Amino acid sequence: MVADTKPGPGAAGGVGPAIEGRTVVVVGVTGQVAEPVAMALAGANEVVGGARFRDAAARERLEAAGVRCVPIDLATGDVAGLPADADVVLNFAVVKSNKWTTDLDANVGGLADLMEHHRRAVAFLHCSSTAVYKPMGHHVFAEDDQLGDSHAVWPFLRTYSISKIAAEATARWAARRFDLPTTIARLSVPYGDGGGWPAIHLEMMLNGSPIPVHADAPSVYHPIHEDDIAAMLPGLLAVAGVPAVTVNWGGDDAVSIEEWCGYLAELTGLEATFAPTEDTLDSVQIDLTRMHELVGHTRVPWREGLERMVAARHPELLRVAGAVANADD
């Protein structure tokens, strides 16, 4: 169980105790990352999921798994339906309307409202993103490196990285203001049965569409499987502190888009074609030293994870089932 006393950075070096017998609030619960997390926790905890619930099918899946669903609206600060006495809060919410006022109100102001509402929690996890880092080619980013707008090249996500930077500042302020032990986890590329960027690339390959990659090749990230995301939550919560603890969060292996699409081609027989351009995201390779010291290592090898993703989403395409067993990692 998560400790009864408020934890701090002294829990380094392991994955932390299991989360059991607790009231856990998962915000943004209908999202790709949060939904499997909430379902994984529901068996041993009272899990309350907060979201707008515009997707009725997602709500039905969550409720069937034992998650109590509570409609909230971060843009207006309406979080009153969530239990204020929750032990643990996991914030995976992100609003991407592409409207500055809406997205800042929800992602920044809404986070302040959420942390105030849950100021008596044992620990608060704010899921940020490696999108906060300023594009710097093939630099390997540590947590104290320069931040900047990384999504200006994508007009359909123009508010994303700046909202994430502003939200981190809010999380740090609220941790001090409410004496709320907080971890800010900068997530790399999440993927799994529920989807993710590699799953989008698989669909593009299926449609015969070229995959944009940065002209300064290769485009390197740290894909992390949804199983590892769930498994590392206890450790991330165990190191929560005041001031907030910031940590890069990604899979142990640095893998390029070109490399993972090549492996998807090997698994499926589809062709991966690339369209080099300056108008896409740069590499964001991260230094995982702090994550390894505080939380531990990921356990799902990226090839295995991609094979499982294909098997779950397009089993008819998987022509090399079990190939990962012989892969040279």
**pLDDT (tens digit per residue) in 52-108:** 999 899 999 999 999 999 999 999 999 999 999 999 999 999 999 999 999 999 999
Residue 16 belongs to a domain: no
CA distance 73 to 50: 9
Residue 9 belongs to a domain: no
- Do 260 and 307 lie in one domain? The reply is yes
- Digit-coded pLDDT (tens) for 250-306: 999 999 999 999 999 999 999 999 999 999 999 999 999 999 999 999 999 999 999
What's the domain count of the chain?
2
CATH of the domain at 273: 3.90.25
Residue 166 CA from chain centroid, whole number: 17
CA distance 187 to 64: 28
CATH of the domain at 102: 3.40.50.720
Please tell me what DSSP assigns to residue 31: S
Residue 318 belongs to a domain: yes
Q: Which residues of 209-244 are buried (b: 16+ CB within 10 A; e: fewer)?
A: eebbbbeeebbbbbbbbbbbbbbbbbbbbbbbbbeb
- Do 65 and 153 lie in one domain? The reply is yes
pLDDT for position 319:
84
Residue 290 belongs to a domain: no
- Do 170 and 263 lie in one domain? The reply is no
Residue 17 belongs to a domain: no
Residue 11 belongs to a domain: no
- Do 230 and 268 lie in one domain? The reply is no
Q: Both tokens of residue 154?
A: 């994508």
**Contact partners, residue 203, CB within 8 Å, separation at least 6:** none
- Do 202 and 111 lie in one domain? The reply is no
- Do 176 and 272 lie in one domain? The reply is no
CA distance 73 to 212: 34
Please tell me what DSSP assigns to residue 266: H
Residue 181 CA from chain centroid, whole number: 19
- What is the CB neighbour count within 10 angstroms for residue 201? 20
Calculate ∠ Cα 196-279-281, nearest 5°: 40
- Do 257 and 241 lie in one domain? The reply is no
Whether the per-residue pLDDT at 312 is higher than 90: the answer is yes
CA distance 242 to 225: 29
* CA–CA distances in Å: residue 212 to residues 11, 30, 149, 200: 41, 28, 19, 12
Amino acid (one-letter) located at 236: L
Residue 229 CA from chain centroid, whole number: 7
- Do 42 and 185 lie in one domain? The reply is yes
Compute the Cα dihedral for 153, 184, 198, 100 and give only its sign: negative
- Do 116 and 181 lie in one domain? The reply is yes
pLDDT for position 18:
80
Residue 264 belongs to a domain: yes
- Do 162 and 276 lie in one domain? The reply is no
* CA–CA distances in Å: residue 105 to residues 82, 109, 189: 19, 5, 25
- Do 182 and 208 lie in one domain? The reply is no
DSSP assignment of 69-114 equals: EEE-BTTTTB-TTS-TT-SEEEE------S-HHHHHIIIIIHHHHH
Cβ 126 vs Cβ 184: under 8 Å: yes
Q: Taking Cα atoms as reference points, which of 229, 222, 200, 184 lies closest to residue 33?
A: 229
Domain hosting 76: range is 23-192+224-249
Q: Both tokens of residue 253?
A: 């292996």
CA distance 258 to 239: 35
Residue 311 belongs to a domain: yes
- Do 230 and 208 lie in one domain? The reply is no
Average pLDDT over residues 128-148: 97
DSSP assignment of 111-174 equals: HHHHHHHTTT-SEEEEEEEGGGBPP-TTPEEPTTSPB----TT-GGGTTHHHHHHHHHHHHHHH
**What pairs with residue 182 in β-bridges?**
124, 241
Whether the per-residue pLDDT at 199 is higher than 70: the answer is yes
Q: Any idea which of 124-128, 154-158, 171-175, 243-247 has the lowest mean pLDDT?
A: 154-158
CA distance 231 to 40: 9
Please tell me what DSSP assigns to residue 213: E
pLDDT for position 128:
98
Please tell me what DSSP assigns to residue 109: I
Share of the chain above pLDDT 70, in %: 92
